[in-house]
Amino acid sequence: MSRQHRDWDEDDVRVRPTRSTRPRSKVRPDFTEAIPATVIAVDRGRFTCLADDTEVMAVRARHLGRKGLVVGDRVGIDRPLHDNAYTLVRIVSRDKRRTELRRTADDTDPTERVIVANADQLAIVSSLADPEPSYGFIDRCLVAAFDAGIEPLLILTKSDLASADAVLDSYPGLGFPVITTRRLPDRTLVFDGPLVDLLSGKTTVLVGHSGVGKSTLVNALVPDADRAVGRVNEVTGRGRHTSTSAYGFGFHGGLLIDTPGVRSFGLAHVDVERVIHAFPDLEPGTADCPRSCTHDEAECALDDYVAQQGIDPARLASLRRLLLSMRDQPAV
């Protein structure tokens, strides 16, 4: 005889267990056989990866959570490669980053953004004319490179329009290579230096203002790159944003990463005390500075050091502008 519902008690009610994040099995997926790949482009949750000289489209596996992936990340993909270019693969792991090139919107923005990962070399691209070279931008990129442990490389474009002597005189004996580029009458781009040798076998990221010739440089180095290029505005002297996202190209056993033009390079994430390391021509002069010297006070020994060594005073002025702008940022 069945019981009536009015005779039920708590023992008759089956309570389902609450939802738990504990895995149902102790046997977890093993991704040790994942195929190594490198992220070369990011587009709204889709990642273009380069594995064994083959480009594949990938999505991030769920277990990676909200872990961000940027161009240059070394990852593992879980599906064998084949000839079908329209099949999505999963990114199941991300290797620990060796380096991170970061910047903020300005010196007061507490939010830092990783531009690229695992870069060996930062190529600072600056034009000698149209637009004019920005010494402050070059100095900021040098600070970011030294802080991240990345080797700097200065590329001066459009040397057929203006001389590079003024820029070279401002950066004497810095210990990193400087390459100039120019166009011949037939529009061929030539390099006055061993640029190809410097880029071979390394992961290099190109950074610079819009219109300085980053995409033109990539097209000359990688004929199949087909990066969009634009003209410089004759009124404002600024270039247009033709590149909208970073993209990596395989180059002589390495990776060449083109990035969109940036207006500013904030250094809010860099400790003020480490800024001097980006000025190797001035750093020896700090040995005679008083303790806790801010390098912008009357007792600073850098003034006498610059005069004795014949260093361009603009270098010291640039250092002090950087330090002042970073010290004036509000506490967060």
Q: State the CATH number of the domain containing residue 183.
A: 3.40.50.300
Please, what is the angle between helix 302-309 and helix 313-327, to 10°?
160
Q: Is 253 exposed, middle or buried (0-12, 13-18, 19+ CB in 10 A)?
A: exposed
CA diameter of the chain: 108
* Mean local confidence (pLDDT), 29-38: 86
In a domain, 21, yes or no: no
% of the chain at pLDDT higher than 70: 84
Pairing of strands 178-183, 189-192: antiparallel
Question: Does one domain contain both 154 and 88?
Answer: no
Angle 195-247-182 from CA coordinates, rounded to 5°: 30
> pLDDT-based confidence at 237, cuts 50/70/90?
very low
User: Which residues lie across from 76 on neighbouring strands?
Assistant: 36, 93
Residue from 211, 263, 262, 259 nearest 235 by CA: 211
pLDDT at 69 > cutoff 90: yes
Reading phi first (left if > 0) and then psi (alpha if -120 to 50, else beta), residue 58 is in beta
Q: Tokens for 154, please give them.
A: 């200065």
Q: Tokens for 143, please give them.
A: 């600070």
Question: Does one domain contain both 119 and 236?
Answer: yes
Helix (H) or strand (E) holding 125: strand 121-127
Question: Does one domain contain both 121 and 216?
Answer: yes
In a domain, 73, yes or no: yes
Question: Does one domain contain both 89 and 135?
Answer: no
> pLDDT-based confidence at 58, cuts 50/70/90?
very high
223, 258, 293 - which closes a domain: 258
In a domain, 294, yes or no: yes
Other beta carbons less than 10 A from residue 212's beta carbon:
28
Task: Give the Cα separation of 265 and 219 in Å (integer).
Answer: 25
Question: Does one domain contain both 163 and 299?
Answer: no
Question: Does one domain contain both 253 and 314?
Answer: no
pLDDT of residue 142: 86
In a domain, 179, yes or no: yes
Of 14-18, 64-68, 209-213, highest mean pLDDT: 209-213
In a domain, 277, yes or no: yes
Question: Does one domain contain both 246 and 178?
Answer: yes
Q: Report which of residues 195 and 230 the model is more confident about.
A: 195
> In one letter, which amino acid is 11?
D
258, 282, 315 - which closes a domain: 258
Question: Does one domain contain both 134 and 157?
Answer: yes
Boundaries of domain holding 298: 272-327
In a domain, 157, yes or no: yes
68, 94, 120 - which closes a domain: 94
* Mean local confidence (pLDDT), 220-244: 65
In a domain, 18, yes or no: no
* Mean local confidence (pLDDT), 182-203: 91
* Mean local confidence (pLDDT), 244-268: 87
Question: Does one domain contain both 116 and 207?
Answer: yes
Look at the chain and report how many structural domains it folds into: 3
Q: What is the CATH number of the domain that holds 311?
A: 1.10.40
Question: Does one domain contain both 88 and 104?
Answer: no
